């Protein structure tokens, strides 16, 4: 074990729990174990390939030798395409200089934190939520974790947020939400927006404003009667205080293509651009050129999305119904009906049960290990998203799920549950 002193950040930062877990699962699969891997929020390209038109545009861009550095804020044709895409689909009027391109959402979120948050500032985010705890730590900000409940589908409410808003610099919202696959109720979002606008009107001209980081990476993956709403559409005055994060990773199953973008007030985009210019978090030139072409190909998008969404929803609903059947049989499992994204929120509450060998599952990590060892079921505990270690809820991701694996996975899970006493 190394004892050499490094930076405070290096010595205190925890790496991505999800990536670490995913790597462990892949190693077991490579060793020959049968594992139903529902951990990483990624897509198996053999199951969910990117649109063929996007693939063809990427190949064509490389053939045309688009391999140089891109512009620091992203290629103009891509920023124009993103602007037109939102005008068409969400009624936005963001100009290219209000849009920042990067290699996926992570560098953009980091840049937003670095642009807005100072050491000691308060950052509000839901518990659970994806990675906000780590970005808050990296900026030495104060964590304000707002607990959420299954009754509210693990989404924060205006009442939850209200006690902390006066002292905050940044409010992080994600809808549809990672890890839950649920969404902010439009009425609740409007209440939150009204609070933010009122708080910023209260603050003096020399005070830092309260900004909202709105991660809408999953906004196109909404099912049934669920309704997606964003802060600016909900309340136009939020345009001055909202910084969006979006991209192609989830909506086109293009996680590895690495093209994402942020949009918001131009002065914030300029500061983010300066930060990213030193980090080098650019999307590759060829991929930028390809995405610019693809976003303008509405026929290709319309051809791709219905089948893609239906395939995800089929998996989510099949597993949800299977878990509800187990619940009806008396097993200590539960789930929230899928609303969006590629995630299912499930509960497996087995602490205190005895295994066949007489050993007691004394903590939630024992439950996680038991499911992996005896059911081959790999899922991510909410503790990886900032929740308490003894929280019995999990994220199940279907991006790598083969339909033929659903029935045997549920059967193995029932067998493992039945062995407990």
In a domain, residue 128? The reply is yes
Query: Do 253 and 295 reside in the same domain of the chain?
Result: yes
Question: Which range in 12-26, 30-44, 159-173 is most confidently predicted, on average pLDDT?
Answer: 159-173
In a domain, residue 232? The reply is yes
Using DSSP, state whether 108 is helix, strand or coil. helix
Spatial separation of the C-alpha atoms in residues 103 and 218, rounded to whole Å: 17
Res. 17: pLDDT tops 90:
no
In a domain, residue 253? The reply is yes
For residue 31, the model assigns a pLDDT of 83
Residue whose tokens read 């840049």: 111
Domain of residue 368, residue span: 8-48+305-418
Query: Do 284 and 145 reside in the same domain of the chain?
Result: yes
Query: Do 286 and 315 reside in the same domain of the chain?
Result: no
Contacts of 245 (CB under 8 A, 6+ apart): 105, 108, 109, 112, 213, 214, 215, 216, 217, 260, 261, 262
**What is the pairing mode between strands 99-102 and 333-335?**
unpaired
CATH of the domain at 190: 3.40.640.10
Among 258, 285, 301, identify where a domain stops.
301
In angstroms, the first-to-last Cα distance of the chain is 40
Query: Do 101 and 163 reside in the same domain of the chain?
Result: yes
For residue 109, the model assigns a pLDDT of 98
Other C-beta atoms within 10 Å of 158: how many?
Answer: 17
For residue 189, the model assigns a pLDDT of 98
Sign of the C-alpha dihedral computed for residues 296, 42, 322 and 391 taken in this order: negative
Query: Do 251 and 201 reside in the same domain of the chain?
Result: yes
Under 8 Å between Cβ of 409 and 36 = yes
More confident residue, 31 or 393: 393
In a domain, residue 1? The reply is no
pLDDT tens digits, one per residue of 218-240: 999 999 999 999 999 999 999 99
Least confident stretch, 8-22, 148-162, 199-213, 271-285: 8-22
In the chain, the number of structural domains is 2
CATH of the domain at 351: 3.90.1150.10
Spatial separation of the C-alpha atoms in residues 319 and 338, rounded to whole Å: 10
pLDDT tens digits, one per residue of 236-273: 999 999 999 999 999 999 999 999 999 999 999 999 99
Res. 7: pLDDT tops 90:
yes
Query: Do 261 and 118 reside in the same domain of the chain?
Result: yes
For residue 34, the model assigns a pLDDT of 86
Query: Do 118 and 184 reside in the same domain of the chain?
Result: yes
More confident residue, 27 or 271: 271
Among 266, 284, 301, identify where a domain stops.
301
Read off the DSSP letter of residue 174: E
Spatial separation of the C-alpha atoms in residues 63 and 57, rounded to whole Å: 10
Residue whose tokens read 């002193």: 5
**Percentage above 70 pLDDT, the chain:** 99
Quick one: 11 exposed, middle or buried, by C-beta within 10 A (0-12, 13-18, 19+)? exposed
Tell me the pLDDT of the chain averaged across its residues. 95
**What is the pairing mode between strands 343-348 and 393-397?**
antiparallel
Enter the tokens of residue 69. 């550095």
Res. 121: pLDDT tops 70:
yes
For residue 2, the model assigns a pLDDT of 63
Helical (H) or strand (E) element with 374? helix 364-375
Under 8 Å between Cβ of 184 and 175 = yes
Res. 23: pLDDT tops 80:
no
Least confident stretch, 30-39, 144-153, 275-284: 30-39
Cis peptide before 176 (omega within 30 of 0): yes
In a domain, residue 3? The reply is no
For residue 45, the number of C-alpha atoms closer than 13 Å in the C-beta half-sphere is 9
Res. 293: pLDDT tops 70:
yes
Res. 102: pLDDT tops 70:
yes
For residue 296, the model assigns a pLDDT of 97
Query: Do 381 and 285 reside in the same domain of the chain?
Result: no
For residue 1, the model assigns a pLDDT of 57
pLDDT tens digits, one per residue of 380-392: 999 999 899 999 9
Other C-beta atoms within 10 Å of 119: how many?
Answer: 8
Within 163-265, residue ranges assigned H as helices are 186-202, 231-234
Task: Give the residue-averaged pLDDT of 80-107.
Answer: 97
Spatial separation of the C-alpha atoms in residues 24 and 30, rounded to whole Å: 10
**Percentage above 90 pLDDT, the chain:** 91
pLDDT tens digits, one per residue of 39-79: 989 999 999 999 999 999 999 999 999 999 999 999 999 99
Furthest-apart CA atoms within the chain: distance in Å? 66
Enter the tokens of residue 253. 């199953």
Among 267, 301, 335, identify where a domain stops.
301
Q: What share of the chain is helix, strand, coil (3-state, %, to 5)?
A: 45, 15, 40
């Amino acid at each position: 074990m190394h004892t050499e002193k490094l930076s405070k950040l290096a010595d205190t930062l925890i790496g991505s729990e999800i990536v670490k877990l995913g790597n462990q699962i892949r190693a077991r699969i490579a060793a020959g174990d049968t594992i139903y891997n529902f951990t990483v929020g990624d897509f198996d390209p053999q199951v969910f390939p990117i649109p063929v038109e996007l693939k063809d545009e990427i190949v064509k861009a490389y053939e045309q030798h688009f391999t140089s550095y891109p512009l620091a804020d992203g290629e103009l044709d891509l920023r124009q395409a993103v602007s037109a895409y939102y005008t068409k689909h969400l009624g936005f009027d963001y100009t290219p200089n209000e849009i920042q391109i990067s290699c996926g959402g992570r560098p953009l979120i980091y840049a937003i934190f670095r642009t807005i948050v100072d050491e000691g500032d308060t950052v509000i985010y839901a518990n659970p939520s994806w990675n906000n705890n780590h970005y808050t730590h990296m900026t030495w900000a104060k964590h304000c974790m707002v607990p959420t409940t299954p009754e509210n589908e693990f989404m924060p409410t205006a009442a939850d947020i209200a006690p902390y808003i006066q002292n905050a610099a940044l409010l992080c919202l994600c809808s549809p939400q990672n890890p839950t696959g649920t969404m902010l109720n439009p009425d609740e979002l409007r209440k939150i927006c009204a609070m933010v606008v009122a708080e910023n009107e209260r603050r003096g001209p020399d005070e830092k404003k309260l900004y909202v980081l709105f991660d809408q990476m999953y906004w196109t993956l909404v099912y049934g009667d669920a309704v997606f709403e964003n802060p600016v559409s909900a309340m136009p005055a939020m345009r001055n205080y909202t910084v969006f994060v979006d991209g192609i990773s989830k909506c086109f199953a293009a996680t590895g293509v690495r093209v994402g973008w942020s949009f918001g007030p131009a002065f914030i985009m300029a500061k983010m651009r300066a930060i990213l210019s030193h980090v080098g978090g650019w999307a590759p030139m060829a991929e930028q050129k390809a995405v610019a072409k693809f976003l303008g190909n509405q026929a290709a998008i319309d051809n791709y999305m219905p089948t893609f969404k239906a395939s995800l929803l089929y998996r989510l609903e099949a597993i949800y119904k299977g878990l509800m059947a187990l619940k009806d049989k008396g097993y200590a499992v539960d789930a929230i009906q899928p609303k969006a994204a590629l995630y299912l929120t499930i509960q497996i509450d087995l602490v205190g049960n005895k295994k066949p060998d007489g050993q007691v599952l004394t903590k939630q990590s024992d439950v996680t290990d038991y499911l992996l060892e005896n059911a081959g079921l790999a899922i991510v505990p909410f503790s990886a998203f900032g929740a308490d270690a003894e929280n019995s809820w999990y994220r199940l991701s279907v991006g790598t799920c083969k339909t033929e694996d659903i029935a045997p996975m549920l059967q193995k899970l029932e067998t493992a549950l039945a062995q407990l006493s």
